[in-house]
Structure 1
Amino acid sequence: MNRKDFIRTSSILAASTFMLKSQASSLFDQPIRVGVIGVNGMGWSDLNALLKQDGVICTALCDVDENILGKRAKELQDRNMKVATYVDYKKMLLSPDVDAVIIGTPDHWHCLQMIDAVNAGKHTYVEKPIGNSIRECQLMLQAATKNNAIVQVGQWQRSQQHFKDAIDFVHSGKLGKIRLVKAWSYLGWKNSIPIQPDEAIPAGVHYMDWLGPAAKRPFNINRFHFNFRWFWDYAGGLMTDWGVHMLDYALLGMKVSDPKSVMASGGKFAFPDDAGETPDTMTAVYEFDNFNIQWEHAKGIDLGPYNRNHGVAFIGNNGTLVLNRGGWEVIPEKGRMEAVALQPSVDNGLEKHMANFVDAIRKKNPALLNAPLEAGAHIAIFSQLGNIAYRTGQKLYWNNEKQRFNDEKANKYLAAVYHNGYKYPKV
């Protein structure tokens, strides 16, 4: 290469490098502007974790309870963040000042709001379980795929290191043949829900907007805010609330997806006369080739299997690996393998999950997500199978190819019935 060519080539390389650096810098300098739909519980926790990421700002809040909405807006204002507030989430989705949306509403709203969000071109973080019926999960997945949308599901354990380490150990084969996997949630702090009379709609609450597609009922405080999850109109109880977390890792550990059959039994054994509808005690058994996955939950009790109130246990011929949010350990069968002392959690799963969400947004690559909608849809459907087996009282066989049961009584539970003029979105 002569001197003239060398200088020209060097100049081109230098200019190209400068342009790439400038584009990367420009990409990072552009803030990700976030709006939140549902700011009372996990939506608020999700926002605070997201705001810890560089280059993220909150520009909008939406809630149908103006009391909560005003409280959260003031809390942000006290932190020098001024936000627009909305009661109608569709108006928030029209805002050009919102790039990404957190959906922290009750389960029965997730489908409509997520599909509207991706159709509006917004990056979306949706709380788990992603839907309140199998049909909703299917439609959400179709909408996200059609829009090539970046949708992260709030199963933040998928971003936590010790969960990954534990599954790597399961896959090593050291436990020997695994014949049974147990997953569970024991909610000792959750006591009975006393029956309360219906009452007038509180000031500032847009109740029909809260009900949305759910059946119209008089306002009752027992069904509002956190306790919505114990009523079939809005959620699926502990089976879907915690099952999506722990059963997700049962499937990851065993490298399986769809069961041959499922059966379940339980009831309101602890609090038979309280206001809740979903079972406070339940066991579900999912059948696979050569092993079973067993789910169990109980309210009002903390002493679950292996003295843990939640977790998943892989029970092998050589030993058992027990995993939960606190860490993992291996309990050996005598003389068959070495014990592994507790390997504690060392990171903040929710904050790492949000960092992963931001990374996928900045790189415009949904393949980078640790909990993409495909994963969220699958485990939400898997948990629904257990609830439907419980509600029918039958052993059910699931045809994954047809996305139907072998039983027409069970198939009636595939789609939640929409009310108040709401219809399933067309995708």
Structure 2
Amino acid sequence: MSLTSSSLSRRTFLQNSSQLVAGTLLPTIESAQASTGLVAADPLRVALIGCNNMGWADLTSMLKHPAVQCVGLCDVDQNVLNRRAAELQKNNAAAGAAPKLTLYTDFRKLLDNREIDAVIVGTPDHWHCLPAVMACQAGKDVYVEKPLANSIEECNLMVAAAKKHNRIVQVGQWQRSGSHWKAAIDYVRSGKLGTVRLVKTWAYMPYGKKFPVVADEPVPAGVDYAAWLGPAPERPFNKSRFHGSFRYFWDYAGGLMTDWGAHMIDMALWGMNVTTPVSVMAAGGRFGFPDHAGETPDTLQVLFDYGQFTIQWEQAIGIGRGPYGREHGVAFIGNLGTLVTDRDGWELLPEIDGGQYLTPAMPLQRRYTNDLDRHTLNFVECVRSRQQPNAPAEVGRHVAVNAQLGNMAYRLGRKLHWDEQTQTVRNDLEANKLVRAQYRKPWALPIV
């Protein structure tokens, strides 16, 4: 098949633009290693598994980068699939590009397509592990939404699959690519705060004030509900457990703890250069809206003990006025001052002794980049260079272990002692059942 002059012009444009973006935001990439066969001039062909909400946001962001093409969409809801396909084709037409787009309702058939270089996994949490591991086994790189998985056992399998198959796996913890976040972390690690004894992390979300219990109902037309449930327990269809609000049910996710906690606690781990805690305690409940649908708590406090300091997590649904006047954030509290940061920027609150600041004051440091776009760009460039991305599977695994242990301590109502070497909770059979994934047949955990 011959190339038209317009397609040649577009290829030239993509090559030049790719070099420009790489040169201004990341180190220039000359070529990919033999494990992908890609060179910098080749288009990166991606496909999306799970086309709603963040999956679509991730794809939209990734397509902003030159030479990235979407060649496949997969969703078990035909309504979502058709809507996203129409949006994508409209955008392609406006951009003057129309790569062949194949639609799938079974992600396994998508993974069989050898023309796909990388996949985005934007499914509900309970569906992260299987597609990601199978994509690695199929030789494809993976951008997977956070939290990495819905159990510690699944997280460990995903890390192992990435290593065994030499795949680039980027977890959607996009603060890791944010310039102001890195500047804040560098300040924390500089020692200018003195001894940091406590790190506070939180998410006070004003949404969720209305979430009424509704009756079960027939499965909507176009939805393969058995496939949506997948390895989760079999239950009647209920719209409260479906799109978006799935995250407030233990079968599929872990509430705010694994949603926003996967972002904010990750920043605490990064700043303090740690991975998993010694012990975890939790208290909370459905205090604000006890009659709402959902199982996860609307109010929760978790304390992670790291030996020489603690990390604290707080969450509240239906309240937007959080600590330090921020609905979400991280506060590194040291002897000389406190550094507070969120997605808008960071600021320094010096301690005062005898009328003198113990660490120099500075103005508010505001965000000045689109962190999600930087994160997807980092993934694209790492696919080509074969360098590790900013949020590899191990990073996703560490924060997921913290978040899962926090939820487990809440659900069991007791302090848990984590043994990182054995990957178990010490002397607690009931807790270790929650460490493991419970899959409904015919689905089974992948073998890595």
> If the length of structure 2 is used for normalisation, what is the TM-score?
0.88
The structural deviation recorded for 1:338 is 2.5
Aligned to 2:47: 35
The structural deviation recorded for 1:412 is 1.6
Kindly, what percent of the aligned residue pairs are identical?
Answer: 55
CA distance in 2, matches of 1:282, 1:22: 48
Aligned to 1:267: 285
1:313 to 304, 318, 331: 331
Distance 1:218 1:304, change over 3 A: same
Q: How do 1:24-173 residues align onto structure 2 when only pairs under 5 Å count?
A: 27-79=39-91, 80=93, 81=98, 82-173=100-191
Q: What secondary structure, in the 3-state scheme, does the structure 1 residue paired with 2:133 have? A: helix
RMSD (CA atoms): 1.4
Aligned to 2:372: 350
Native 8 Å contact 1:158 1:370 kept in 2: yes
**Is 2:263 aligned against 1:245?**
yes
Aligned to 2:420: 400
Aligned to 1:359: 381
Native 8 Å contact 1:128 1:376 kept in 2: yes
The structural deviation recorded for 1:23 is 6.6
Q: What secondary structure, in the 3-state scheme, does the structure 2 residue paired with 1:262 have? A: strand
Q: How many residues align?
A: 404
Q: What secondary structure, in the 3-state scheme, does the structure 1 residue paired with 2:383 have? A: helix
1:362-405 Cα shifts (integer Å, max 9, x gaps): 1133x2x0001111111111111111111111111111101111
Q: Bigger radius of gyration, 1 or 2? A: 1
Aligned to 1:276: 294
CA distance in 1, matches of 2:278, 2:172: 27
Aligned to 1:391: 411
Native 8 Å contact 2:48 2:59 kept in 1: yes
CA distance in 1, matches of 2:155, 2:308: 29
The structural deviation recorded for 1:426 is 1.0
Aligned to 1:340: 362
Native 8 Å contact 1:216 1:420 kept in 2: no
Aligned to 2:26: none
**Is 2:441 aligned against 1:423?**
no
1:307-341 Cα shifts (integer Å, max 9, x gaps): 00000001111111001100000011122223222
1:62-96 Cα shifts (integer Å, max 9, x gaps): 00000010001011111224511000110011112
Displaced runs of 4 or more, over 4 A? 21-24
CA distance in 2, matches of 1:83, 1:105: 20
CA distance in 1, matches of 2:413, 2:360: 42
> If the length of structure 1 is used for normalisation, what is the TM-score?
0.92
Q: Unmatched 5+ residue regions in structure 2?
A: 1-28, 33-37
Q: What secondary structure, in the 3-state scheme, does the structure 2 residue paired with 1:329 have? A: strand
Native 8 Å contact 1:35 1:101 kept in 2: yes
1:112-168 Cα shifts (integer Å, max 9, x gaps): 110111111111100000100011001111111110111111011100100000011
Native 8 Å contact 1:264 1:393 kept in 2: yes
CA distance in 1, matches of 2:109, 2:404: 32
Aligned to 1:411: 432
Native 8 Å contact 1:215 1:420 kept in 2: no
CA distance in 1, matches of 2:153, 2:48: 25
The structural deviation recorded for 1:303 is 0.6
1:381 to 375, 391, 401: 401
CA distance in 2, matches of 1:158, 1:288: 21
Higher alpha-carbon deviation: 250-259 or 175-184: 250-259
Q: How do 1:181-220 residues align onto structure 2 when only pairs under 5 Å count?
A: 181-220=199-238
**Is 2:194 aligned against 1:176?**
yes
Native 8 Å contact 2:194 2:334 kept in 1: yes
Native 8 Å contact 1:156 1:349 kept in 2: yes
Aligned to 2:322: 304
CA distance in 2, matches of 1:414, 1:212: 19
Native 8 Å contact 1:212 1:419 kept in 2: yes
Q: Unmatched 5+ residue regions in structure 1?
A: 1-20
CA distance in 2, matches of 1:138, 1:68: 31
Native 8 Å contact 1:214 1:420 kept in 2: no
The structural deviation recorded for 1:22 is 9.6
Q: Give the letter aligned to residue 273 of structure 1.
A: D
CA distance in 2, matches of 1:321, 1:77: 45
Q: Give the letter aligned to residue 362 of structure 2.
A: V
Aligned to 1:16: none
Aligned to 2:35: none
CA distance in 2, matches of 1:88, 1:23: 33
